[in-house]
């Protein structure tokens, strides 16, 4: 093998490189996609959680939608207000008044007030328990307390309290819908924080049966509906249902005479207020497993 | 091992051999159970649309009288199991754990077992279409546990034909002996039912599959099926779980495999449980409805185990009391120990699809002991009757990759027989994982469907 072989090889490679580089240079010019540089800027401002709570496929998709004007900056539930304002200022658009939404649990039947009829043995997840006779709880609608919602929450906004019920930290909650989807009893739903009147129960059994299963169940007595402005609260299938289209009329009046404390008022601090006539629960320890009747 | 007629016994691949526990009830004749003070008849006891009540609160009903009508073709009517008065139509617990609407009937004291409703008729001259409707009127569903409406199953779809009627007398679940007793005591009813099924489907031959742990039933069926209008053969199959599953039985008897996602009708066969056939054969000529069924009550928790003919809607507490329940059992399971459901409430009523009531002590069924990591031993692969890879599926389930389980590993072919969990030396709750995965996939699909509907409207 002579020295010229190396030379030829070298030149061929150089030539090939030159041709391909030229092709790339032309492609770069001809096939260039003009992308709005604002998308990148906005994306950098966003929290990069990709939670999807805004309704788009992630933060990049949200940034694109904001730039095109399809969505207002305020729709991002995770960003703090100053970030949303910064985006609005940058684009010269309105922030868009988007009220903060949070996940709310429609059950107050912790271990200390809800009767357990059978001991569930098996995988310690709500989804597994729900498949075995709906879990061991007497109330067929109530929270099972294995904390699937806590595990699925990416924002650490849910913790399980001493009574085995999930508690939502409203500051951390981004209304991403993950807990709503995972709960086998469908107890979570997303609500604007201004929805302060809340029925913390889903029990649709008639009064005696509801009382027998849980001390804080809605017994459909109808007092909240009678006290509240007409049309705000209706009893549907043995359960008080708040019509949030008339939320402006809601006040603490509705919770005053509730005998079980199933209907509550959620304070701005996130604390839960029950009416003065609500049954006082002093018990801290879990109820034992007891037979029916 | 003895092989009848010196032939090799037919069976399917894989499966397990759990202990039988059948001796306590197999020798006991079927007895009637008394009426409970209140019967609860759920409107949905079958797969399909719930029946629509046709009675009012306070109305008196006579034993055998229709109290709810079928909501369309994929539904069956309900009949009053006892003479009494309708107390209310309200929610009642179901074995699934949710609450569903049911008709509560207060039994009249001294209500008799006699069924006054219905008029005998000659079914010989009826056309297949008329017979299908007559079967629907009886309210009979698959009594082997699936509770699929029998008239829907018997209506052969357009473009398909049935050449073989398979009679399922396997009863492969431990403890249960209802089919065994029915094969011994109601052989003529089964034959009459087979006659009806043959006329509706146009099948030309009958194969009866019975496991070899019931030699007396095989004997009695062989004697009776000499009178069968089509060529019939009673085949003795080796005792193995889950031989009574449709697809397994088809494979055992015909050797053919039902395609993934398909039904045995693709192979030209139709499979009917012996109890279902016996009910059709008995009720159709008398023009009556299904108001009672045979249920095995067994397990260490009851003093009087046996097979009881009980009115549908009898609450569990009454049944357990009648059978001498000592209150010590840890678990009450509806169905067999392999596929049955543990229940939460003793107020749950007996429905059409319940084959057994087991009062089990701790450790009697899958008890909650420590789970170890999968050691890839492959026991579950050797047990899975539908040739899935439960080990791999289990790992995917742990990672919640439910869509991958369905698309890549045929999750939907799993019929939840529980063989994998039964054999797993690491005690991994495989079948439970699969049930969750299926539930999640179903939820995902219904959600996608709902989103699509919303999109279509706006």
Please report, for the domain that includes residue B233, its CATH number. 3.40.50.11540
| Chain A residues touching B359 at Cβ < 8 A | none
Q: Choose one of B286, B311, B337: the last residue of a domain.
A: B286
Q: What is the C-alpha separation between B263 and B266, in angstroms, rounded?
A: 6
Residues A189 and A237 grouped into a single domain: yes
Does residue B73 lie within any of the structural domains? no
Residue from the list A132, A204, A206 with its beta carbon closest to the beta carbon of B342:
A132
* A128 with B436: Cβ contact below 8 A: yes
How many domains in chain A? 2
Instruction: Please report the ipTM that was assigned to this predicted complex.
Output: 0.80
Which residues of chain B fall below pLDDT 70? 1-8, 362-369, 455-458
Contact between A133 and B347 using a beta-carbon 8 Å cutoff: no
pLDDT at B365: 46
Q: Which of B286, B314, B337 is the last residue of a domain?
A: B286
Chain B residues within 8 A of A119 when measuring between CB atoms: 330
Q: Compare all CA atoms of chain A with the CA of B101 and give the residue at the minimum distance.
A: A205
pLDDT of residue A91: 84
Cross-chain Cβ contact B435/A131 below 8 Å: yes
- What burial letters (b/e) apply to A166-184, b meaning 16+ CB within 10 Å? bebebeebbbbbbbbebbb
Are residues A46 and A146 both part of a single domain?
Answer: no
Residues lower than pLDDT 50 in chain A:
none
Q: Where are the alpha helices (DSSP H) in B287-369?
A: 316-322
Same domain, B243 and B385: no
Residue A68 falls within a domain, yes or no?
Answer: yes
Query: Is A5 part of any domain?
Result: no
Q: DSSP label at B253?
A: H
Q: For position A70, which CATH number holds?
A: 1.10.15.40
Q: Is residue A287 part of a domain?
A: yes
> What pLDDT score does B457 carry?
46
List the structure tokens of B350.
């007996």
* Contact predicate B24/B49, CB 8 Å: no
Any CB–CB contact under 8 A between A121 and chain B?
yes
Kindly report the CATH number assigned to the domain that includes residue A128: 3.30.70.20
b/e burial code for range B69-79 (CB count within 10 A of at least 16 → b): ebbeeebbbbb
pLDDT one-digit tens code per residue, B91-108: 998 888 888 999 999 999
Q: Which of these three, B230, B254, B286, is where a domain ends?
A: B286
pTM confidence score: 0.83
Could you give the CA distance from residue A291 to residue A22 in angstroms, rounded to a whole number? 83
Tell if the CB–CB gap between A133 and B440 is shorter than 8 Å: no
Based on the fold, state whether residues A118 and A188 are members of the same structural domain.
yes
Are residue A86 and residue A181 in the same domain, yes or no?
no
B188 touches chain A (CB under 8 A): no
- Lookup: tokens for B131: 């017979």
User: Is the CB of A205 less than 8 angstroms away from the CB of B447?
Assistant: no
pLDDT digits (tens, 9 = 90+) for A160-219: 999 999 999 988 888 888 899 899 999 999 998 889 999 999 999 888 889 988 999 999
**B139 located within any domain:** yes
Looking at CA atoms only, how far is residue A273 from chain B in angstroms? 30
Domain ends where: A26, A57, A91? A91
User: Looking at the complex, does the CB of residue A241 fall below 8 Å from at least one CB of chain B?
Assistant: no
- Which tokens hold the place of B384? 């899975």
pLDDT of residue B17: 93
pLDDT of residue B2: 45
Number of domains in chain B: 2
B276 and B144 together in one domain: yes
Nearest Cβ partner of B97 from A133, A206, A292? A133
Q: Would A67 be classed as within a structural domain?
A: yes
Nearby residues of B428 by Cβ (< 8 Å), 6 or more positions away: B371, B372, B374, B394, B421
Q: Which domain holds residue A230?
A: 101-292
By residue range, what is the domain housing residue B412? 379-457
Determine contact: B340 vs chain A, CB below 8 A. Answer: no
- In this structure, the answer to whether residues A207 and A151 fall within a common structural domain is yes
Whether residues A44 and A128 fall in one domain: no
- Are A139 and A255 within one domain? yes
Same domain, B269 and B384: no
């Amino acid at each position: 093998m002579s020295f010229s072989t190396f030379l030829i090889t070298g030149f061929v490679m150089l030539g090939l490189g030159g041709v391909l580089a030229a092709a790339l240079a032309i492609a770069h010019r001809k096939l260039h996609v003009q992308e709005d540089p604002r998308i990148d800027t906005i994306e950098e401002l966003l929290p990069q959680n990709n939670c999807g709570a805004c309704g788009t496929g992630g933060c990049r998709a949200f940034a694109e939608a904001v730039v095109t004007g399809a969505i207002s900056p305020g729709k991002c539930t995770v960003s703090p207000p100053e970030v949303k304002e910064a985006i609005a200022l940058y684009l010269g658009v309105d922030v868009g008044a988007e009220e903060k939404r949070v996940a709310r649990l429609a059950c107050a039947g912790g271990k200390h007030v809800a009767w357990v009829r059978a001991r569930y043995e098996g995988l310690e997840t709500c989804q597994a328990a729900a498949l075995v006779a709906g879990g061991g709880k007497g109330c067929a609608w109530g929270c099972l307390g294995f904390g699937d919602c806590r595990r699925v929450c990416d924002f650490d906004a849910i913790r399980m309290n001493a009574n085995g019920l999930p508690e939502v930290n409203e500051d951390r909650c981004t209304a991403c819908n993950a807990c709503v989807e995972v709960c086998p009893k469908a107890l979570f739903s997303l609500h604007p924080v201004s929805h302060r009147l809340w029925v913390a129960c889903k029990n649709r059994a008639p009064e005696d049966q509801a009382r027998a299963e849980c001390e804080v169940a809605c017994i459909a007595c109808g007092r909240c509906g009678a006290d509240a402005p007409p049309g705000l609260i209706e009893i549907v299938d043995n359960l008080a249902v708040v019509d949030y289209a008339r939320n402006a009329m809601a006040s603490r009046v509705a919770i005053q005479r509730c005998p079980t404390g199933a209907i509550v008022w959620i304070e701005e601090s996130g604390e839960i207020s029950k009416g003065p006539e609500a049954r006082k629960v002093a018990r801290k320890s879990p109820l034992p497993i007891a037979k029916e009747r | 091992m003895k092989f009848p007629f010196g032939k090799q016994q037919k069976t399917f691949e894989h499966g397990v051999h759990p202990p039988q526990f059948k001796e306590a009830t197999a020798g006991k004749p079927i007895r009637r159970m008394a009426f409970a003070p209140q019967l609860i008849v759920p409107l949905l006891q079958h797969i399909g649309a719930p029946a629509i009540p046709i009675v009012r609160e306070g109305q008196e009903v006579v034993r055998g009288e229709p109290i709810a009508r079928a909501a369309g073709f994929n539904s069956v009517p309900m009949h009053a199991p006892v003479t009494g008065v309708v107390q209310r139509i309200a929610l009642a617990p179901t074995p699934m754990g949710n609450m569903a609407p049911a008709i509560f009937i207060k039994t009249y004291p001294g209500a008799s077992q006699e069924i006054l409703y219905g008029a005998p008729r000659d079914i010989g001259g009826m056309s297949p279409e008329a017979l299908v409707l007559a079967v629907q009127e009886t309210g009979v569903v698959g009594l082997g546990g699936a509770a699929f409406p029998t008239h829907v199953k018997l209506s052969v779809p357009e473009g398909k034909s049935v050449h073989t009627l398979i009679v399922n007398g396997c009863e492969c679940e431990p403890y249960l002996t209802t089919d065994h007793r029915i094969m011994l005591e109601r052989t003529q009813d089964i034959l009459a039912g087979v006659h009806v099924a043959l006329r509706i489907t146009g099948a030309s031959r009958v194969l009866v599959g019975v496991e070899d742990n019931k030699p007396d039933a095989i004997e009695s069926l062989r004697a009776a099926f000499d009178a069968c209008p089509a060529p019939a053969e009673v085949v003795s199959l080796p005792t193995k779980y889950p031989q009574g599953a449709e697809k397994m039985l088809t494979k055992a008897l015909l050797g053919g495999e039902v395609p993934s996602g398909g039904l045995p009708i693709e192979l030209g066969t139709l499979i009917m449980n012996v109890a279902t056939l016996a009910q059709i054969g008995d009720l159709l000529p008398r023009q009556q409805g299904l108001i009672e069924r045979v249920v095995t009550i067994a397990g260490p928790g009851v003093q009087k185990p046996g097979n009881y003919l009980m009115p549908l809607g009898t609450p569990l507490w009454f049944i357990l009391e009648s059978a001498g329940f000592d209150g010590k059992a840890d678990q009450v399971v509806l169905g067999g120990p392999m596929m049955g459901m543990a229940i939460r409430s003793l107020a749950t009523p007996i429905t059409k699809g319940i084959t057994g009531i087991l009062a089990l002590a701790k450790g009697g069924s899958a008890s909650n002991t420590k789970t170890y990591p999968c050691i890839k031993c492959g026991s579950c692969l050797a047990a899975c009757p539908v040739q899935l890879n439960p080990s791999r599926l289990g790992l995917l389930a742990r990672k919640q990759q439910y869509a991958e389980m369905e698309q890549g590993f045929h999750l939907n072919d799993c019929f939840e027989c529980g063989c994998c969990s039964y054999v797993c030396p690491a005690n991994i709750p495989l079948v439970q994982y699969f049930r969750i995965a299926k539930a999640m996939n179903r939820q995902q699909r219904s959600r996608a469907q709902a989103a699509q509907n919303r999109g279509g409207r706006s």
